[in-house]
Amino acid sequence: MAPRVLVSDELSETAVQIFRDRGVEVDFQPLLGKDKEKLAEIIGNYDGLAIRSATKATEKLIAAATNLKVIGRAGIGVDNVDIQAASRRGIIVMNTPFGNSITTAEHAIALMFAVARQLPAADASTQAGKWEKSKFMGVEITGKTLGVIGAGNIGGIVCRKAIGLGMHVLAYDPFLSAERAQEMGVTKVELDDLLAKADFITLHVPMTDKTRGILGKEALAKTKPGVRIINCARGGLVDEAALAEAIKSGHVAGAGFDVFEVEPATESPLFGLPNVVCTPHLGAATTEAQENVALQVAEQMSDYLIKGAVSNAINMPSITAEEAPILKPFIRLADVLGAFVGQVTESAIKEIEILYDGSTAEMNTKALTSALLAGLIRNQVSDVNMVSAPIMIKEKGIVLSEVKRDKTGVYDGYIKLTVTTQNQTRSIAGTVFSDGKPRFIQIKGINMDADVGQNMIYISNTDVPGMIGFMGTTLGEGGVNIANFQLGRDQQGGDAIALLYVDAPVEQEVLDKLTANPAIRQAKPLVFNVD
């Protein structure tokens, strides 16, 4: 029986035809995504679900999708898919990471022009029969300084176009190397420096805990008077209420917003303010982009359902059926090693070295490296996958090297990750035992044997008496239950580390009590995607 795919959002007829041509039975119901009850009622009949942004693949819907094998999102953002719920059910989630990058970048540039010249208000005034030429005095783009927050795929395109317009470009991106910035023709700066110097600011970062409210009240107060702010990335990156006050006070001269804290945006503090241009999330809304991502998702889903090929998967490595039994545990290990370093590293990464020792050197190291890199940058780019991660690393100018060697130690095979930043070099190694679970075997050159849990705490401290008792007491008083506790040190009185496997996320207040001890240099909460 041919696999069945439900298309519950608007996809082009060409994309629908691709399914049919590849031998997939397709049910095209583009309005169904807005009817949650009806969608849940019939989703169990399908092997695949092709969506845009209207359909919400919630935990409840996924629970009803008893036969579903793959969800394909035509576009990059997967905020409307419960990836954890899908993973638990063994459902692959695919996206199309690069199909609408140019379109989104162009929209940011268009909004910048619209705000600079007050085009919407001037149009409305003129069509109302007024001729208020003196009222709409604008500013030139040429020669102005553009601050780009996030210089990845889309942000990089904006940088190139802005330079072509004769603008000076400042870029803030923790993962952007100085060498890559030079190649791009931009100046790499810290956020405060960008805020102080930019005439225009545009945001191109994902929504994470670190980026949420990145332009809040305090940050906006640091901006240059007369600045104009553009957001075509994610709602919530900018505090809309704080920005509205800054516009009313005259500190901010204008804003162009395509995304909002609550969508659909029927109201916002920005609505009705002078020189604020708002559009209804049109960043990817061009015929070219919509066609590109639709065709891509149809091809990817068909290849998986017919051939078993996996590409651009958020939650599944690109591996063959033959490799899967051996490779999957090490894929998980690679992701964990990358995620560890990504969560504890705060400065820009310059170099990455991955060592495959023993049996791991004979595996599909391309898949392992992709999984490791995805884990490494997931803290900064939430929707990264194994396909897009290596490209993003390359775009950021980070030097990546792989080393393979024969077995050198007691382990049949292990992976070691070494990351060099502007401030330090950090390393971590891990292996997989016969139970198929990842384990940490070395951190910062200190040997240990530690289980990997979903919630962990990494503590770096000076080796002094009483630390074990202090850590245990502090965590116990904070209601934290310790499942496992591993320690290590380089020498007596030297550097020591502790890795704790805990039952639940740890409150910041508890971590602050730990770091209040002068012997503790760092106490980082860690979260890993493990069973």
**One-letter identity of residue 233:** A
204 annotated active-site: no
Considering 4, 281, 426, 489, which one is annotated as catalytic?
Answer: 281
* Contact call for residues 276 and 257 (beta carbons, < 8 A): yes
Task: Please compute the mean of the pLDDT values over residues 343-356 and round it to a whole number.
Answer: 91
Q: Judge whether 323 lies within some domain.
A: no
| 326: in domain | no
Same domain as 105, residue 181? yes
Q: Is 117 one of the catalytic residues?
A: no
Q: Are residues 269 and 304 in the same domain?
A: no
The answer to whether 525 and 488 are in contact (CB under 8 A) is: no
**pTM score over 0.85:** no
Domain housing 166: 101-278
How does pLDDT run across 356-396, given as a tens digit for each residue? 999 999 998 988 998 899 899 888 877 676 766 887 888 88
Share of the chain above pLDDT 70, in %: 97
Residue 249: how many other CB atoms lie within 10 Å: 9
**Interacting residues of 321 by C-beta distance below 8 A, sequence separation 6+:** 308
Marked catalytic residue, from 263, 346, 362, 507: 263
Helix extents (H) in 69-168: 83-88, 101-117, 119-127, 153-164
Each residue of 475-507: pLDDT tens digit?
999 999 999 999 888 888 888 999 999 999 999
In a domain, 28, yes or no: yes
Residue 325 in domain? no
End-to-end CA distance of the chain: 33
User: 303 and 239, same structural domain?
Assistant: no
Q: Let me know if 234 is a catalytic residue.
A: yes
Residues 130 and 263 in one domain: yes
Answer whether residue 321 shows pLDDT above 60: no
Between CA 153 and CA 98 the distance in angstroms is: 8
We report the CATH number of the domain holding residue 112 as 3.40.50.720
Catalytic residue among 180, 234, 332, 378: 234
Helix (H, G, I), strand (E, B) or coil at 141: coil
